[in-house]
C-alpha cells in the first residue's frame, strides 16, 4: 500500500491509545508491530506520543488514569473517522440519535474534532484535517487494516452510521461496511459478540503471522482474549489486551505481504 497523504470523508483516519503507562506502551507496540515513537509536550505534565512505521504515522498515545488530565478514563483505543466538516457531522450525529460528548473544537493547527457516542453507546471521534491528515499507512505489516463495531443493536447502529457518514452497510449476520467502493470494516454478528462487553470499535493491525504475533504479544505481557482463529476465505485473527488493558485485534490476510 502506498503512503497515504489524505483520507476521504467516511474513512478511518486515526487510531489513538489512551494508556496508563506510555513508556510501557511504546515498548510493547514497538516490539510487537515495529513502531517507533516520538513524544511531544501536551500540557504541563503530559506528552502526546506519535507512533510511526517506516517514517509514516500509525497512531498516537496519551496518558489516562491517576495523575493525568483524564483520571477517570480506562485504557482503550480510540478510532477517528475522517469528515469534511466536524460541525456538520456533529449536527448530523445529533439528529440521528447520537450524543456529542465533546466539541467541535480545534486541536491547535492540526485539525478539528469532536467526540461522539452513537445511539447504541459506542464512542468514536471525527476528524477534519488541517495540517495533520492522519495515518500515513494502512494494510501493511504492523499497520491498521480494519475495524469492527461491537454493538448490542446492529440495526440501530446501521441506521445511524448510514445517515451520518453515508456508508453502505450490507449483509445478514456479519455486516460489511463500505465507504464508497471500498470495504473498510464491519459490524460483528450477535452470535459471536461477547454480551458482557461494552459497545466499542475494535481496531485491527495487520500481520503476516497471526498465531506467531499473538504468542509474541502474550510473551510481552498481553492477555489473549480470542486465540488465533482462521475464518474460511477471510484470514486469521486474534484479539488481545495489551499489558495495560487496551483491547485490539491482529489480522493475517489470506495472502499477507
Secondary structure of residue 94 in the 3-state scheme: helix
Domain boundary pick from 76, 95, 129: 129
In percent, how much of the chain has pLDDT > 90?
84
Domain boundary pick from 129, 161, 179: 129
Domain boundary pick from 129, 160, 182: 129
Q: Under 8 Å CB-to-CB from 168, ≥6 apart: which residues?
A: 162, 177, 178, 179
pLDDT, one tens digit for every residue, the chain (257 residues): 457 889 999 999 999 999 999 999 999 999 999 999 999 988 778 899 999 999 999 999 999 876 656 667 889 999 999 999 999 999 999 999 999 999 899 999 999 999 999 999 999 999 999 999 999 999 999 999 999 999 999 999 999 999 999 999 999 899 999 999 999 999 999 988 888 899 999 999 999 999 999 999 999 999 999 999 998 888 999 999 999 999 999 999 986 44
Same domain, 21 and 70: yes
Determine the pLDDT at residue 257: 46
Structural domain boundaries enclosing 22: 12-129
Q: Would you say residue 134 lies in a domain?
A: no
Q: Would you say residue 213 lies in a domain?
A: yes
Same domain, 123 and 18: yes
Same domain, 179 and 124: no
CATH number at residue 68: 3.10.180.10
Same domain, 38 and 93: yes
Same domain, 150 and 244: yes
Same domain, 67 and 167: no
Q: Would you say residue 137 lies in a domain?
A: no
Determine the pLDDT at residue 191: 87
Instruction: Round to whole Å and give the CA distance between 253 and 54.
Output: 21
Is the separation of the CB atoms in 242 and 24 below 8 Å? no
Q: Is the peptide bond before 104 cis (omega within 30 degrees of 0)?
A: yes
Same domain, 148 and 42: no
What does DSSP say about strands 56-63 and 46-53: parallel, antiparallel, or unpaired? Answer: antiparallel
Determine the pLDDT at residue 2: 55
Same domain, 116 and 148: no
Same domain, 35 and 82: yes
Total domains, the chain? 2
Same domain, 24 and 113: yes
Amino acid at each position: 500500500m502506498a503512503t497515504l497523504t489524505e483520507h476521504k470523508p467516511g474513512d478511518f483516519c486515526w487510531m489513538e491509545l489512551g494508556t496508563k503507562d506510555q513508556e510501557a506502551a511504546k515498548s510493547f507496540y514497538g516490539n510487537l508491530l515495529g513502531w517507533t515513537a516520538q513524544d511531544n509536550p501536551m500540557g504541563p505534565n503530559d506528552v502526546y506520543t506519535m507512533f510511526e512505521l517506516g517514517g509514516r504515522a500509525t497512531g498516537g498515545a496519551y496518558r489516562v488514569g491517576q495523575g493525568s488530565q483524564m483520571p477517570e478514563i480506562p485504557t482503550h483505543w480510540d478510532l477517528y473517522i475522517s469528515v469534511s466538516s466536524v460541525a456538520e457531522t456533529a449536527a448530523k450525529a445529533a439528529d440521528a440519535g447520537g450524543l456529542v460528548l465533546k466539541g467541535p473544537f480545534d486541536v491547535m493547527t492540526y485539525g478539528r474534532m469532536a467526540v461522539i457516542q452513537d445511539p447504541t453507546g459506542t464512542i468514536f471521534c471525527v476528524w477534519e484535517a488541517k495540517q495533520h491528515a492522519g495515518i500515513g499507512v494502512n494494510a501493511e505489516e504492523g499497520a491498521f487494516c480494519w475495524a469492527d463495531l461491537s454493538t448490542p443493536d446492529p440495526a440501530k447502529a446501521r441506521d445511524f452510521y448510514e445517515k451520518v457518514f453515508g456508508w453502505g452497510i450490507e449483509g445478514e449476520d456479519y455486516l460489511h461496511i463500505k465507504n464508497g467502493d471500498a470495504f473498510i470494516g464491519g459490524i460483528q454478528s450477535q452470535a459471536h459478540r461477547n454480551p458482557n462487553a461494552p459497545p466499542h470499535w475494535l481496531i485491527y493491525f495487520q500481520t503476516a503471522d497471526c498465531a506467531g504475533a499473538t504468542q509474541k504479544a502474550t510473551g510481552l505481557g498481553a492477555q489473549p482474549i480470542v486465540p488465533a482463529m482462521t475464518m474460511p476465505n477471510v484470514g486469521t485473527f486474534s484479539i488481545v489486551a495489551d499489558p495495560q488493558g487496551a483491547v485490539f485485534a491482529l489480522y493475517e490476510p489470506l495472502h499477507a505481504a
